Amino acid sequence: MLDLRDLRKNPEAYMQALEKRGKHFSTLAQHFLVQLEKRHALLQDIEKLRGERNTLSKDIPKLEGGKRAVELKKLTTLGKKLTTEERKLKDLDAFEKDQEIVLPNVPLPDVPVGPDASGNVVLRERGNRNAVEQAKDYLTLGESLDIIDVKRAAKVSGSRFGYLKGAGALLELALVQFAMQELTKAGFTPVIPPVIINEPYMAAMGYLAQGGADEVYSLDRDKQFLVGTAEQAIGPYHAGETLSAAQLPLRYAGFSTCFRREAGSYGKDTKGILRVHQFDKVEMFVVCDPLQSETEHQKLLAMEEKLVSDLGLPYRVLQLCTGDLGFPSAKTYDIECWMPGQNEGRGEYRETHSTSNTTDYQSRALEMTLKREDRTKVIPHMLNGTAFAIGRTLIAILENYQQPDGSVRVPDALQPFMHGITIIRKA
RNA sequence: GGAGAGGUGGCUGAGUGGUCGAUAGCGCCGCACUCGAAAUGCGGUAUACCUUUACGGGUAUCGGGGGUUCGAAUCCCUCCCUCUCCGCCA
């Protein structure tokens, strides 16, 4: 959530910033602001009434007989008035909650302004894209090697599911092991979080707004949700806590299965395992002092580039423009890996990684506080970034490491975790 | 899933309708004593929000929500969580 006090204090700044994400957001904020002011006035009235009531109430025990009756009468009238006012406030709050959740984070000043993905900026490209001749796509490779099976998955679970099998399954575990090894070295704490979380936390993380509710799987009977990323389960880990400066930055490497309904993507990437309802992912998550969040963000991006480079995958780095930012994000970089088998064998960059600075948008909703050395209190910043999204990384590996005979070499970095397999061949 | 017990400030733990935001102890901070420390004594020690230039003032919070009442930590309803026993289970 946004800083509502600040919003009331500097409305113009918020309008300008939100407008960069799209006109309708600033319009929403405008309406919301009116409600906020109304609420503020109402609350002040109520607090005054409550004060009067409390003062009167205090004397009651001391009074007797007629005097007492008179005062009680006064109190009754006051109480009735209060009840109506409080009812008004409650209605307003319910309305506000809906509104508030509709406002996304404000982009940081250095985020390029643009309407949608077309405004994203390519920052750099790395690696050799032309290493593979006549590339086959991963699904052809994976099925012939019998390490990916989406046909049977369709029978068992429906579309957008997949089985990883044999060396495919081992590759997933190798990727996880490798990521955990590197991240542990870099000071991240490995975490395996629950994948079912309570509704208020999903909301606090900003994933129930703007169609987000359609994207997550909900367990209606229990009012819970399946996470779409470990971020949603790790962020709330410290909810309600006051963190000391000495504890920060907190760096977590979360491994979890991720569930996505892919409701808005009918017809998109329907084949294979590029876009599925369930996949596993190692995710980096950082909590830090607001002054450090930009540095931490760059570190997360650097770690992502390192991991991709360690696998020897060609990639490019994109900075998302204002119109393409995720709801809770103030600034996002994506990494797209080169997948030579896509686009009819001509190759294509596809998103495999994403890192966002959500500033205090999530941490505020999670009611987190940072007590600095000087005892002042601020709201810490939170950031997230992909280490490996298994499915998509697997695709990039298969397509980039394929050999003319249809076998696939195992990247050097993963070989220590592959039980001696260096080349994946047809059985 | 069934039966029972419980959820109060950083911790332990009192408090069954009104000067209770809450006794007491521990812990923590400050001061005194001491060469220093321990022990001891004295004082202080919740959070959020609103308001005020400031001093200060106000409101809310005793697991969450709702209700009864002029007034709720205290009574009622409901949900959540923890513990014990039983059942089921990787």
Q: Are residues A126 and A94 in the same domain?
A: no
DSSP secondary structure string, A272-321? TTSS-SEEEEEEEEEEE-GGGHHHHHHHHHHHHHHHHHHTT--EEEEEPP
Give the integer Cα–Cα distance in Å for A280 and A256.
6
Q: Are residues A133 and A229 in the same domain?
A: yes
Q: Which residue has the tokens 């360690």?
A: A310
Give the integer Cα–Cα distance in Å for A318 and A121.
5
Neighbours of A270 (CB within 10 A): 12
Distance CA A239 to C1' B13 in A: 27
- Quick check: A57 CB within 7 A of strand B? yes
- Quick check: A377 CB within 7 A of strand B? yes
Looking up residue A164, the CATH number of its domain turns out to be 3.30.930.10
The 10s digit of each residue's pLDDT in A51-87 is 888 888 877 777 766 777 787 788 788 888 888 888 8
Q: Are residues A41 and A152 in the same domain?
A: no
Q: Are residues A66 and A164 in the same domain?
A: no
Q: Are residues A155 and A193 in the same domain?
A: yes
Q: Are residues A67 and A122 in the same domain?
A: no
Q: Are residues A261 and A140 in the same domain?
A: yes
Of the residues A100, A125, A147, the one at which a domain ends: A100
Q: Residues 65-124 of chain A: which lie with beta carbon within 7 Å of strand B?
A: 72, 75-76, 78-79, 90
Choose among A302, A357, A369, A371: nearest CA to A107: A357
Distance CA A369 to C1' B84 in A: 36
Could you give the number of structural domains in chain A?
2
| A371 nearest nucleotide via C1' and CA | B47
Planar angle of CA A276, A313, A385, nearest 5 degrees: 60
Distance CA A68 to C1' B65 in A: 33
Residue A80 is part of which domain span?
4-100
Of the residues A71, A100, A129, the one at which a domain ends: A100
Decide if A402 is inside a domain: yes
- Quick check: A61 CB within 7 A of strand B? yes
Planar angle of CA A381, A335, A410, nearest 5 degrees: 120
Decide if A347 is inside a domain: yes
Distance CA A245 to C1' B54 in A: 31
Tally the C-alpha atoms within 13 A of residue A415's C-alpha that lie toward its C-beta.
10
Evaluate whether ipTM surpasses 0.90: no
Distance CA A79 to C1' B20 in A: 22
Give the integer Cα–Cα distance in Å for A17 and A30.
13
Decide if A128 is inside a domain: yes
* All residues at 6 or more sequence positions from A56 whose CB lies less than 8 Å from its CB, including other chains: A71, A74, A75, A78
Decide if A363 is inside a domain: yes
Q: Which residues of chain A have pLDDT under 70?
A: 64-65, 97-101
- Quick check: A5 CB within 7 A of strand B? yes
Distance CA A313 to C1' B13 in A: 61
| A5 nearest nucleotide via C1' and CA | B49
- Quick check: A240 CB within 7 A of strand B? no
Residue A232, beta-bridge partner list: none
Decide if A111 is inside a domain: no
Classify residue A82 as exposed, middle or buried by CB count within 10 Å of its CB (0-12, 13-18, 19+).
middle
Neighbours of A114 (CB within 10 A): 18
Looking up residue A84, the CATH number of its domain turns out to be 1.10.287
Give the integer Cα–Cα distance in Å for A173 and A409.
16
pLDDT of residue A374: 77
Whole-model pTM: value is 0.92
Of the residues A100, A126, A153, the one at which a domain ends: A100
Give the integer Cα–Cα distance in Å for A297 and A131.
31
Q: Are residues A254 and A328 in the same domain?
A: yes
Distance CA A88 to C1' B70 in A: 21
- Quick check: A416 CB within 7 A of strand B? no
Q: Are residues A212 and A359 in the same domain?
A: yes
Q: Are residues A149 and A190 in the same domain?
A: yes
Q: Are residues A309 and A358 in the same domain?
A: yes
Decide if A140 is inside a domain: yes
Q: Which nucleotides of B are covered by protein (CB under 7 A)?
A: 18-19, 48-51, 58-60, 66, 70-71
Q: Are residues A250 and A374 in the same domain?
A: yes
Neighbours of A84 (CB within 10 A): 9
- Quick check: A265 CB within 7 A of strand B? no
Tell me chain A's radius of gyration from C-alpha atoms: 26
Decide if A109 is inside a domain: no
Backbone angles phi, psi at A423, to 5 degrees: -135, 130
- Quick check: A346 CB within 7 A of strand B? no
| A71 nearest nucleotide via C1' and CA | B70
Decide if A341 is inside a domain: yes
- Quick check: A54 CB within 7 A of strand B? yes
- Protein residue closest via CA to C1' of B80: A198
